[in-house]
Structure 1
Amino acid sequence: MAQQQQPAYQNKFIYASLPRTHRGQPIVLGADPKGKNFLYANGNSVIIRNIENPAIADVYTEHSCAVNVAKYSPSGFYIASGDVSGKIRIWDTVNKEHILKSEYQPIGGPIKDIAWSADNQRIVVVGEGRERFGHVFMTETGTSVGEISGQSKPLNSSDFRPTRPFRIVTGSEDNTIGVFEGPPFKFKMTKQDHSRFVQAVRYSPDGKYFASAGFDGKVFLYDGTTADLIGEIGNPAHKGGVYAVAWKPDSTQLLTSSGDKTCRLWNVETRELITEFVMGTTVDDQQVSCLWQGNNLLTVSLSGNINYLNVDDPSKPLRVVKGHNKPITVLGLSDDRSTIYTGSHDGVVTNWNSGNGSNDRVGGTGHGNQMNGIAAWGDFVYTCGIDDSLRQINIEANTYTDYVVKLNCQPRGLAIFRNENIIALACVKELTLVQDTKKVFSLPIKYEASSITANSDTLDVAVGGDDQKLRIYSLNGTTLDPKIELDHLGAVTDCAYSPDNKYLVACDAHRKVVLYSVEEYKPAHNKEWGFHNARVNTVAWSPNSLLVASGSLDTTIIIWSVANPSKHTIIKNAHPQSQITRLVWLDNNTVISTGQDCNTKVWEVETI
């Protein structure tokens, strides 16, 4: 067995994913009673994010299917998270491992909202169960403390009155609000003031009122104890459906967020508008959630962006947290290594400051769908995507330029010959060379290309294929001549020349990473690099050409040593429950990884 050093790595940063959003569906943010963090879900993960510095994040990944909602207990010591299978997991916030306290299955379908009682002893969950739409139970034992019934369609929202006498309210797709008294909780009445789905019900922190919001654009205010209607807020509150409401901690104001791309702040006593926040003009600017925590007013746009509203200047947010909420498919670095570029399944490109993790979205017209290649070259970054085009980002302006080269088929990767001013692209059915903005050469191929890398010293191009071959071509002026074919035991998934141009590394679907010396394209050593348990997706070189990192479908990153081929470091569960999609080295001790989980992670690795 090869030697292994433990622990030879640490996770320095997580550049967390944004909330996963769906058009026409509200999402729920969770508030930390201690005021430090906030919560949301993306895929199987719960993201715990620092509210003052959103670059600090933690990810909980123990659910086996997609999570819809997570909420802190009033004590702040536990979080309850609910998923699409109807499971609730209650886990601790104190330990780094987030130890599981209990797991329950209160309903047989997606959970849409969770609320804790003020004494931390009871939880109500609502959603789309097969035999019932909600359940209220004891957090310690899971025993039922009443029945959530009386509404005929799935429940979207629920809340516990924070003061005694306890009440529960629920908002349903049958356009009604259910009111329950207890414990044990029994159905008391329905309120039928809304004419469309009720999307949010929330008690004021002092328990005096509760507010409801619906897709009819209306927001109603009710007495917290009797559930009598006090009146309508606004007339109506919004021009589009209202997705969420959030109370000011002193219960005097209410924040609403709407599909009409605005958020509004209301005076509860007069039920009149205080401020309107216009969040934009595109569909992506619809507001699908809001949270009021301390002095922070947070909203979530359909794009996934998290906005910090500025009450003193509603014209623009204090801060917008950007990133990805779809799987990341490309990863690159600017030439000076100061900026990391990530691109996702939906064509969004984000730049990250490699020092502090601050980020911004790249503007302009990009690919609009999945990206398969990215590479920096001087003042520009080049990208290719499944819209069959090569495009260019101006680094300084942080926007796509009008440079577009249309390709004949789907590109799978790109590589740059800087001195020759040539971009080489591996496409599904051909290899293409682009000079300036023109296609100067194309070579039809009988295999499907997966990846491409260029050697600026030898002017060789290596192309991975789905037919278990790695092919080397020579650049001859503006043409490519076949040179040699190297056999693998599985489809070649990625390949990369070392920065010193002396080695070529390739990985394949047969779980292998193979190192070749460029001189004769023979294996550089007789050690087999085969410690992955599944297809290897990506390989990357350290700047000094001494280490190779590989990332796999098995969620693992392995660091391999060129000088000591029998030594390696395994980073297990680098992206738990998520395959590794891309890797890049920031410096000789720092690896950056991206995953299907939409997160980007920065790892510090000891030299092997």
Structure 2
Amino acid sequence: MAAYSNKYIYATLPRTARGQPIVLGSDPKGKNFLYTHGNSVIIRDIENPAICDIYTEHSCAVNVAKYSPSGFYIASGDQSGKIRIWDTVNKEHILKNEFHPIGGPIKDIAWSPDNQRMVAVGEGRERFGHVFMSETGTSVGEISGQSKPINSCDFRPTRPFRIVTGSEDNTIGVFEGPPFKFKMTKQEHSRFVQAVRYSPNGNIFASGGFDGKIFLYDGSSADLLSELGSPAHKGGVYGVAWNGDSTKLLTSSGDKTCKLWDVETKSVISEFVIGNQVEDQQVSCLWQGNYLLTVSLSGFITYLDINNPAKPIRVIKGHNKPITVLASSLDQSIIYTGSHDGNITSWNAKTGENDKIQGIGHGNQINGMKLDSEYLYTCGIDDSLRQVNIKTNTYTDLQIKLNAQPKGMDLNSNILVTATVKEIIVLKNEKKIFNLPVDYEPSAVAVNSDASYVVIGGSLDNKVHVYKFNGSILEHTAECDHLGPITDCAFSPNNEYLAASDANRKIILYKVPEFTVAHKQDWGFHSARVNCVAWSPNSKLVASGSLDTTIIVWSVSSPNKHTIIKNAHPQSQITRVLWLDDETIVSVGQDCNTKIWNVTPI
């Protein structure tokens, strides 16, 4: 019926955790940068972050990804101790090698400058690191001499080759080779060592620790040269990054600042104060060409401006927790996404530029979101309904308490209906005008365009409940039976149909106002629970998203034709879909990514 292509991916932010540094990967060709989230490696265009690619072949959480110095391969290391080496040139990212250097989470990887050797470190059961050939996996040395997990490692970029490692036993390990043998430990730090990095010319390496200190060492002999600052930061140092000519160092800290240092004079050139909230702790940094990036605990990626430390060049915002709700402005120019942690992001549908909704919101999972011309309404599992002014992108003071957890909401003709697990509530002009206790545990809500009908999906009785709304009360008029709990329902824009999806993998189309089945054939091509349904603006197509990671586009006029977008969100269920126009679908999922698809009817 149709061909499809992926137009944009508004990518997930890095997955972060308190007290844990993350590692950004630098592209030797200067085009992209790398980070990880869940089972995915995100390859993001540094100049235009709306362009990105996602590698999803790991079977468990990935912790670090690094380009080879040639730029042709990426090595990514995961929670189980596996390293996959895959190519960057082909869209398919063909796997070149897979090794298992340590028996536990890998925390950092470094390549030798000739692409031949690799060191991986982390939390292995029998060892905390290993050096091996990147072609064969053959061992070329031992990482020993440190008694606790190793957080960071680096390969000296010039001969004679050296490896340095930073450990949770507060020491820096120094190794000479090949084959690499333990030479000594450096014990200047008094807390965990979180980052060790050689300068590009190999003359110096820098270390940063949770004691807030940064030390510089001779690249060849590992003699201590000096300390930067006294100490460098008021909080733990999570990341250090060198500029291309080895004269400056960028450092990021849990004290919510980054600092730029002149290595020769040991002085601070500038200080970047990122914020004053816990989520503004800086957990990583990267210096690539002219770009200086730092990552906050919130996952936000800030592009620092050397010439104006007070104002960043840009901040990439978004989500790093599963996205649960999706809506668009009436003119479809802005997409709104809301996540498991209560954050809402507004996206420009054409450019991917985004911003976070400000103010006090739900603080936890959002279960429903709808717009009218002025406001965005949300309901969350804090048992409240809230309102956002879409002109100012800020929550208003309106907060309507609900008596139980809301499961869904819809809005049409100034009538807002929300269903909690116990009752249906009808609001008009932000005031409750009607409520109806129910015992079938509502799971979905739809209001047709003139608000003459309200349908509620039941999760206990597997029925779609149809109510006529006469302006003040809901009258139960019909029931439609399904073989599994109802997961979503939506009226077509022309009011002629209702589509309802269920946990039994089916979507059923009903005629309105009879609420009889429109087609003998139910739409049952999903292989797991269908989570959501959405209508195209012309009422001719229905899109559905499922636990099975696929989106299916169905035709109302040719019910036996459909288009399957396979692995739309690989390894992740699709939580919501939405049409921007008759040929463009937006999808969001558990993987925290927002994707925009072109669908061309044949």
Q: AA paired with 2:78?
A: D
1:223 corresponds to which of 218, 221, 243: 218
- Hey, what's the Cα distance between the residues in 2 that align with 1:79 and 1:590? 32
1:466 corresponds to which of 459, 465, 472: 459
Corresponding pairs, count: 601
- Hey, what's the Cα distance between the residues in 2 that align with 1:316 and 1:489? 56
Summarize the alignment of residues 77-156 of structure 1 with structure 2, pairs less than 5 Å apart. Answer: 77-156=72-151
CA displacement, residues 382-405 of structure 1 (integer Å, 9 cap, x when unaligned): 111111111111111111111111
2:548 maps to 1:538: no
The TM-score, its normalising length taken from structure 1, stands at: 0.98
2:342 maps to 1:342: no
Cross-structure match for 1:411:
406
2:592 maps to 1:598: yes
CA displacement, residues 102-133 of structure 1 (integer Å, 9 cap, x when unaligned): 11111111110010000001110100111111
Q: 2:323, 2:588 within 8 Å by CA — same for their partners in 1?
A: yes
CA displacement, residues 228-256 of structure 1 (integer Å, 9 cap, x when unaligned): 00111111000000000000110001000
- Hey, what's the Cα distance between the residues in 1 that align with 2:430 and 2:558? 44
Give the percent of matched residue pairs that are identical in Structure 1 and Structure 2: 71
Q: 1:31, 1:291 within 8 Å by CA — same for their partners in 2?
A: yes
Summarize the alignment of residues 66-465 of structure 1 with structure 2, pairs less than 5 Å apart. Answer: 66-418=61-413, 421-457=414-450, 459-465=452-458
- Hey, what's the Cα distance between the residues in 2 that align with 1:415 and 1:519? 19
Q: AA paired with 2:283?
A: V
Q: AA paired with 2:347?
A: W
- Hey, what's the Cα distance between the residues in 2 that align with 1:23 and 1:459? 50
CA displacement, residues 192-221 of structure 1 (integer Å, 9 cap, x when unaligned): 000000000000000000000000000000
Summarize the alignment of residues 494-509 of structure 1 with structure 2, pairs less than 5 Å apart. Answer: 494-509=488-503
- Hey, what's the Cα distance between the residues in 2 that align with 1:458 and 1:110? 54
SS in 2 for 1:284: helix
- Hey, what's the Cα distance between the residues in 1 that align with 2:556 and 2:439? 33
- Hey, what's the Cα distance between the residues in 1 that align with 2:479 and 2:124? 56
- Hey, what's the Cα distance between the residues in 2 that align with 1:449 and 1:148? 57
- Hey, what's the Cα distance between the residues in 2 that align with 1:386 and 1:438? 20
- Hey, what's the Cα distance between the residues in 2 that align with 1:460 and 1:329? 25
Q: AA paired with 1:17?
A: T
Q: 1:430, 1:445 within 8 Å by CA — same for their partners in 2?
A: yes
Q: AA paired with 1:462?
A: V
Q: CA deviation at 1:271?
A: 1.3
- Hey, what's the Cα distance between the residues in 1 that align with 2:412 and 2:11? 34
SS in 1 for 2:495: coil
- Structure 1 residue ranges, 4+ long, deviating more than 6 angstroms after superposition: none
Q: Structure 1 stretch 459-468 or stretch 144-153: which is displaced more?
A: 459-468
CA displacement, residues 258-297 of structure 1 (integer Å, 9 cap, x when unaligned): 0000000111112111110000110111000000000100
2:574 maps to 1:580: yes
Q: AA paired with 1:566?
A: N
- Hey, what's the Cα distance between the residues in 1 that align with 2:581 and 2:210? 51
**Distance verdict in 2 for CA 1:198–1:402, change over 3 Å:** same
2:478 corresponds to which of 474, 478, 484: 484
Q: 1:379, 1:395 within 8 Å by CA — same for their partners in 2?
A: yes
Q: AA paired with 1:236?
A: P
Q: 1:201, 1:210 within 8 Å by CA — same for their partners in 2?
A: yes
SS in 2 for 1:453: strand
Q: CA RMSD in A?
A: 0.9
Q: Structure 1 stretch 395-404 or stretch 575-584: which is displaced more?
A: 395-404
The TM-score, its normalising length taken from structure 2, stands at: 0.99
Q: AA paired with 1:520?
A: E
Q: AA paired with 1:130?
A: R
Q: 2:415, 2:451 within 8 Å by CA — same for their partners in 1?
A: no
Q: AA paired with 2:484?
A: G
Q: 2:446, 2:455 within 8 Å by CA — same for their partners in 1?
A: yes
Cross-structure match for 1:20:
15
- Hey, what's the Cα distance between the residues in 1 that align with 2:433 and 2:23? 52
Q: CA deviation at 1:458?
A: 6.2
SS in 1 for 2:475: strand
Q: AA paired with 2:247?
A: T
1:514 corresponds to which of 508, 519, 535: 508
Q: AA paired with 1:593?
A: S
Q: CA deviation at 1:479?
A: 2.0
Q: 2:412, 2:450 within 8 Å by CA — same for their partners in 1?
A: no
- Hey, what's the Cα distance between the residues in 2 that align with 1:436 and 1:169? 64
Q: 1:404, 1:437 within 8 Å by CA — same for their partners in 2?
A: no
SS in 1 for 2:279: helix
SS in 2 for 1:290: strand
- Unaligned runs of 5+ residues in structure 2 are none
- Hey, what's the Cα distance between the residues in 2 that align with 1:393 and 1:56? 29
Q: Structure 1 stretch 452-461 or stretch 546-555: which is displaced more?
A: 452-461
Q: Structure 1 stretch 437-446 or stretch 84-93: which is displaced more?
A: 437-446
Q: 1:44, 1:64 within 8 Å by CA — same for their partners in 2?
A: yes
